[in-house]
Structure formats: structure tokens, C-alpha cells
Structure 1
Amino acid sequence: MLDVVETLTLALDGHRFPRHAHEHWSIAVIDRGGGSFRCSGAGHRFTSGSVTVLHPSEAHDGAAGPAGIRYRSFTVPEAMIKDMLGASGTPSFGNRVLQDDTAYTRLSRAHCALNGNHPDPWVDEIIVDALDHLFGAHASGGRGQASNGHPSVVAAVGRYVDERLDSPITLADLAAHLELSPAMLLRRFRAEAGMAPYEYVVSRRVDVARGLLACGVPIADVAVRVGFADQSHLTRHFKRVVGVTPGYYLRHPAVSRSFKTG
């Protein structure tokens, strides 16, 4: 199965991230400085040398510390993790900030490999080795269902949004699609994701915008394709969620690398 890992390097000074979520696993190695974030009802602090992990669609916010922060991140599709680990469900991390020198070193090597010119088979081996250690040493369990036993509302909303990314989407649209009342959808979505559906939709649009910009698509075209009203609308949300403007991101694109997991 062919999957894609996206890498990104950012250095930020005093930036505060609003509450948002990413479709895939979001993993980062902290190279300099530190900061904090909140997710799943708990606060977390990270420093240089630590590794942070966020589950797919997990609501979080955060802020760089007084000295700023430099970090390198990975966006890893859930399907790739399932294939790599041979798991039917999604593993779960009890700790979102890890002090693990081996994980930091292997993930750092993987980031360098993905941004370099290594032959594909070696890149595959390096990234799988890093992720296998990270998940094998720190993750357990699965998250295929919402905690109340209902099918995942977040997953259903995600599929709906992806199919209509360039169109306006309202709470009423989502509720009608899931055959729930708007109030019930709002309660269940917040209980499962820790954020409102609107915040999730904006996060998903920004995630897709990142990928298009990394491929060199002009900003104005990206705004239309991901459902923002115009370029300024995209820029406002993109800067809040990512920490830099689309223009900066276009000049310093993330590096995406496709590879096979088996």
C-alpha cells in the first residue's frame, strides 16, 4: 500500500496556535526552545529534545515559550500506521510528550532522510524503523469506536467534508447527512473530538491547503479549491493554524515523500 508522509520544519517566536485538529497523526521532534499545548482535557509542556504526538483528529491548541521554538514535524496517515503495525484499530498514546532519546534520534534521522536524496528503499526502512520504535514503545490499545460505543462521528464528518471540500458546509448539512439533530451532532462531536464541527472543518481545509501549496499551487487557486471565500480568508485561518502565511509556506514548502510500507 502506498502512503505519504509529509515533513515540515518551522521556527516560531511567541506564536499561539488556536484550537484545531489534523486529519492524520501529527508527530514532532523539538530541536530548540519549548512551549505548551492542551488536548484531551489536559495541559502538556515540551522542551528541547522531546517528542510530541497527537492522535488523528485530536483537538489541540498551543503556544511557543518565551525563547521561541524550532521543531520538525511529520504528518503520517493512519492507514500507514495500521499497515505497518498490522493492527485493526488505531493505537493510543497515554502521554503526548515523550522524553525518549532513541525516538528523538530515529525520528530526526527519518526527517533528514525524507528531506534528502536517499534511494527509496532506504528511506522506507529508516521511517518504518523510527515509527515502529515510537509506537511499539509508547502506544497501546485502539480507537476504532467512539467511547460511548457509537460509530465515530468525527470519521463520518471527515468523509463528508473531504467529498465537499470546495463547497460551503453547515452544521445543518452535517446533521442531515448523519441523520442526527444539530444539537445531538454537536454534543457527540464535541465529546469525541474535543472541538466543534466548525473548528474541525476549518482545520481540514487548512490541512488540504498545506498539501496543495507544497505542490506549488497558487494561493488564490488553493483558496477556491479548499472552500475558503477568498485568498485573504485562507490567509487568516492558515496563519492562525500553521503559524506562517500561505505565501511563506509557498516559498518554503513542506516535503512530502511517498513510499510503500510493505
Structure 2
Amino acid sequence: MEIDNDVAVYHPRAFQHCDAIGRHGGLFFGVQIDPVLLSDSEFGRRGATGDIVAVHDDAPYLILGSLFCALLAGADKLAFESLAAELAGELFAPKACARGAAPRWLTRVEDRLQEGTCISLEDLSREAGVHATTLTRQFRAHKRCSIGDYHARVRAKRAFIGVVSETATLTEVSLMAGYADQSHMTREFKRAFGRTPGEIRRHVRNYGFQDDRALD
């Protein structure tokens, strides 16, 4: 299985695998969840089937980012366990189904939001060809979040990738992620992850992702 650099991947305990890293290298943040924590849950049972799950959605990636920041902050057991349960829920829980098929314009709207640039509701309504109220209602029904929350998650995810990769300055990362400036990114980044971009970059530069603490 070929994995992109912004994907959350699950594999069952003791799963034998071999990783091939591309020429540009990579950073891994692994979380091992105690089976007892999820043993009585529906997504825990589904996760024990032995299947590999790769999720391209932004939500699990952002939860992993929050777990990493909680690790840096020395958060308590409850914080880790609650985030781990959220992560498992995103990976395995059946998604709530919206009534009816998703409208054809939804993909176009998502594509515009994935660009991460500043965009208005009027722009998105024009792209979809529907009224703003129809757009926002249908978007929430099928994506389980508001357009604003979705856009914020896209930018936060891009910012986190840029911060830990160290291939650009923080100012450059803020612009590439679609923020107005670095201070805007810092505020939104800290709101999403509880740490500033500078704190995360310094930790990665000095220590990497190596930490063997388990969620037990």
C-alpha cells in the first residue's frame, strides 16, 4: 500500500509490515492504543478484524496532531484516552448517513476549500450554483461540520505538515496554508493543537517524534 504524507493509517496489533521511505524522507507519529480501552466499543470490534485502514479525511490527522501536542504538554491520562477514543471513532465508527445522495456540486466546493486560500461564501455559492442557505445546509448534512470548520481543518492540517517538515520558514508556511500572515496562523494553530508552530518546530528539530509512552 502506498501512503501519502498526510494520511492516518491503522493496522492491527502485531501486524507484520515493511516500510519503504521515499528519497525525501518522512516523519512518523505512532500511537498504540490499549485494546482494553476500546474492547467494548463497536469501532473497537471493527478494528480487531485485521484490516488496514487508511483515512484521507482531515479529522483523524488533526486528532493525531492534538495527541502529539498533548504529549509535549505532559497531559494526563484522561486527555490521552479521550483523544485516542476520538481517533478510533473517526477510523472505525460508521459514518452518519445524510438523507439522499450527495449533490454533484459538493465535490467542487470541497476542491475549492482544499486549496486552503481565502474564499467567501459567495464564491462557493457561485461555484455550486445554489443559494448560500442550500449550500451550508447540504454541506453540513453530508460532511458533518460547517463550511467554516472544514476550511479551518484544511488550513490547520496544511500548517502542521509544513511546520514539522521544516522545508519552509513559518512565514512561508502560513502563506502556503492560506493564512493572512504568520500571527494569524499562530493563533489558529494554537487553537487547534494547543501549542504554537514555533514550539512544535523546535521540538521536532531537537527530538523528532521519538517517544515510547503507551496509552495504557
- Structure 1 length as normaliser, TM-score? 0.46
Runs of 5+ consecutive residues of structure 2 not aligned to the other structure: 9-29, 38-53, 210-216
1:162 pairs with 2:172: no
The answer (yes or no) to whether the contact 1:175–1:181 under 8 Å persists in 2 is: yes
What root-mean-square deviation, in Å, do the aligned CA atoms of Structure 1 and Structure 2 show?
Answer: 4.7
Q: Are residues 1:249 and 2:185 paired?
A: no
1:56 aligns to what? 57
Cα 1:97–1:212 shift into 2, 3 Å = closer
Counterpart for residue 176 of structure 2: 225
Change (3 A) 1:183 1:58: farther
> What corresponds to 2:188 in structure 1?
237
Q: 1:193 aligns with which of 118, 143, 150?
A: 143
Label 1:4 to 1:205 Cα distance change in 2 as closer, same or farther (>3 A).
same
Change (3 A) 1:252 1:240: same
| 1:136-151 paired onto structure 2 within 5 Å | 147-151=99-103
Instruction: Tell me the amino acid that sits aligned with residue 178 of structure 1.
Output: A
Matched residue type, 1:215: S
Return the letter of the residue paired with 1:197: I
- C-alpha displacement of 1:96: 6.6
Residue 171 of structure 1 deviates from its aligned partner by 0.9
Q: Would the alpha carbon gap of residues 194 and 205 (structure 1) be closer, same or farther in structure 2, given more than 3 Å must change?
A: same
The one-character-per-residue Cα deviations of 1:85-134 (angstroms, maximum 9, x if unpaired) are: xxxxxxxxxx9747xxxxxxxxxxxxxxxxxxxxxxxxxxxxxxxxxxxx
TM-score by length of 2: 0.54
Counterpart in the other structure of 2:4 = 4
Displacement of 1:155 in angstroms is: 4.0
The structure with more helix, counted as a fraction of residues: 2
Match of 1:49 in 2: none
Q: Does 1:69 pair with 2:79?
A: yes
Identity of counterpart residues, as a percentage? 26
Deviation at 1:28, TM superposition (A): 5.3
Structure with more strand by fraction: 1
Instruction: Note the C-alpha offset of 1:200.
Output: 0.9
Contact kept? 1:154, 1:193, Cα under 8 Å: no
Aligned equivalents of 2:78 and 2:203: distance in 1? Answer: 19
SS in 2 for 1:240: helix
TM-superposed CA distance for 1:225, in Å, is 1.4
Q: Secondary structure at the match of 2:130?
A: coil
2:174/2:182 contact within 8 Å kept: yes
Q: Which runs of 5+ in 1 are unaligned?
A: 9-26, 35-52, 75-94, 99-134, 256-262
Contact 2:108 2:127 in 1 (8 A): no
| Shift of residue 188, structure 1, vs aligned partner | 0.6
